[in-house]
Structure 1
Amino acid sequence: MASQPTRTVTDWDSVSAHEEPLPPPDLPPWGVGLLGAFLVMERRREYAVLRTVDADTGRVLTGPAVESAVAVVGSLLIGIPLGLGLGVLSIRVLSLFLHFPHPRSPSPAVCIEVTALLPEP
């Protein structure tokens, strides 16, 4: 019975070329750049249409301002509760596997107030 040859670190013949677990590192920036280019082109088209119907500068700038305000408020209303909820959930899940001792020191705000009240040497 013939023994199989051992593989070494430099044995690249057995590795197929199509196995690539991660995308190349320059692929995500190209995607973000392409998305940004499409957004800029769409915004310029909107400005052209608004200028065609004789919209003044205030009316042209109101649309993007309202869109950005809605996006900020919406992301805050969704992101803050979701982040806090996931934080609480992760602590509960991790506490099943790890032991977190109760902190014996007071909160940092109490420490700051106490040190502010101490007399100077």
Structure 2
Amino acid sequence: MEPDDVPGLCAGLGAALDGAGDREVVCDVGGVVRPGLAVVDALARLMLTARRAGCRFRVRGAGPELRVLIGLVGLAGRFDPPVPPDALTPPGGPEERTAGTSASCPGRSPSRRPCRPRSPGR
């Protein structure tokens, strides 16, 4: 998906919805392998096109990476059904990530003596 593809997709959806009487648009994204912001942009614009035509817009088959991106850009509650909050955790889960710190010794204030590794005998 490239950003230049989005206007054509929206125009095609708008034309398909014009007078069709459909009340729901389902966008199956199960085939999206490497989601990026272009995909999220396309979904947001397609959703706007559908809503302007008076239709509900649903996303089906969104993988964990796409759900995270949707949440990060603030669109999690906009889709029908909304992207669940637990889907906003990046793949791998919190137990597989480490927290970073800029402190030279986490948990110590800068006024204390510098951290030194303990020798095995102590």
What TM-score, normalized to structure 2? 0.31
- Name the structure with the higher strand share: 2
- Name the structure with the higher helix share: 1
Structure of larger gyration radius: 1
- Which structure exhibits the higher relative contact order, with contacts defined as CA atoms closer than 8 Å and separated by 6 or more residues? 2
